[in-house]
Structure 1
Amino acid sequence: MKRLGILSTAVLLFLAGCGTVPLTGRQQLLLVSDQDVLSSSLTQYKEYMQEATRSTSTTQSAMVTRVGKKLAAATETYLRQNGLSSEISNFAWEFNLVKNDEVNAFCMPGGKIVVYEGLMKLVSSDDELAVVLGHEIAHAVAKHSNERISQQLLAQYGAQLLSKGLENKSTAIQTVAGQVYGIGTQYGVVLPFSRKHETEADYMGLVLMTIAGYNPDKAVTFWQKMAANGQGSVPEFMSTHPSDSRRISDIQKALPEIKAKY
């Protein structure tokens, strides 16, 4: 009977914690509230920005802000037009360029976007920057952080401890979120999500940049430049990211549909 009760609780939590990713329709596990995730991410973001040094390049900083705002507006337009207006309140957009030679960028849950100066060395146009920022914003829109936290909580507590563990989930989130966000330890250009999340963010990012009026074809040339820069040199089976060749191939396959639809 005890085992049956635990199993029933687990099933109910799974059912209650199911979500759907915008644009792709994929079902996902979301065991923690948006508010918990946003609160935790905001804390880590503020700590990061206190230690980071903002870029002194007014031109590049303006570029990050310009492209970021345009993508944010396109994102909110999509959400509003598809019955997801309530999701807009989860975002308080902010755009920063910081001094760091790494080729990197990230968007925290809640729309806090940071770009490293190292990335800008590979960016030659607003379209190319939109490839990266669209991808990062997609992670936030798809709630990939929430999903990873949920997956890690599930693994951490195990099936028999699930109901008890989630009673104290706010404290657990503080512990697990640090591993999920991983600011400063990212591989390549994005946070260390799974390959499934990366591929999904690529697709969603292409859609968002297309809605915003940017040229999605630039995604192919940008990732080719990234590959030439050695960002994808780790074998795919050892990485949380798809290989450069896989990523470029998937993007090329998705482009005709996206351009026709959006």
Structure 2
Amino acid sequence: MKESRAERYRSRRRNDSEVSRFWIMGLLFSLLVLAFEFLFEIPADATWLQEMEMALFSASFTLLAFYLLGLTFVFSRQQEAGKVNHHVIIYAWLGAILFHLFLLISNLANQHVYKAGIILFLGPLFLTVYHFITYLSALRAARQEQEQATAASYERAAYQLILEGTKVYGEINRLKTAYPEVEQMLRANEFYGKLERYALEMQQYLQTKQFTRKDVEVLEGHYYYLENLLLLAKQHPGIMESRAFAHRESHTR
């Protein structure tokens, strides 16, 4: 099925947004890597290095567990899961966990090794944050598209009901003019006031900028009321509906 121009525009804008987000986060990660490598010094004989590695190991393990829970209960609700390859993120967390475990066991005295441990923690963290942001952005875009489609559907249904109701009201007025017994029936059964009020309310809905489900249900009720009155009017002997209206009904059946 060929995409419309609006769909192509939305798809292109969504892709541009994802690319921009990726490059921004990649730039931030690169700046952090350069800062840790050239601006920060880690003493090789510091007593808190093992505690830092233990904290990074625990944090990596915990974040991986939360990420797997997110894949199971949140991301699985969408087929593309935010258009991010989650296997890469899982492998990155596993690599970081193994590296931190290696540093805890080996107890190396090299600041570059510990800087690498910090960078290996920040890398999967950035990928995880990017995945969550991408997923939430895709979810919000899908929700907006769904809301727009629903609003368009309500609007189309409302205008169709107003159009058909106006035609039915016009046919009832024609029958009232041509057949006095129809007007007598409407007034005797106290249908006349409600008929005029419903017809006026349906016309007033033309000024509505955004229709809701309740508006469509109200218009449906008004339309079916007018249809029932027309059906009652046509039950009188000798009454014939207009040719144009009969032609409309033959097409709607």
TM-score (norm 2): 0.27
**Which structure has the bigger radius of gyration?**
2
TM-score (norm 1): 0.26
Structure having the higher strand fraction is 1
Structure having the higher helix fraction is 2
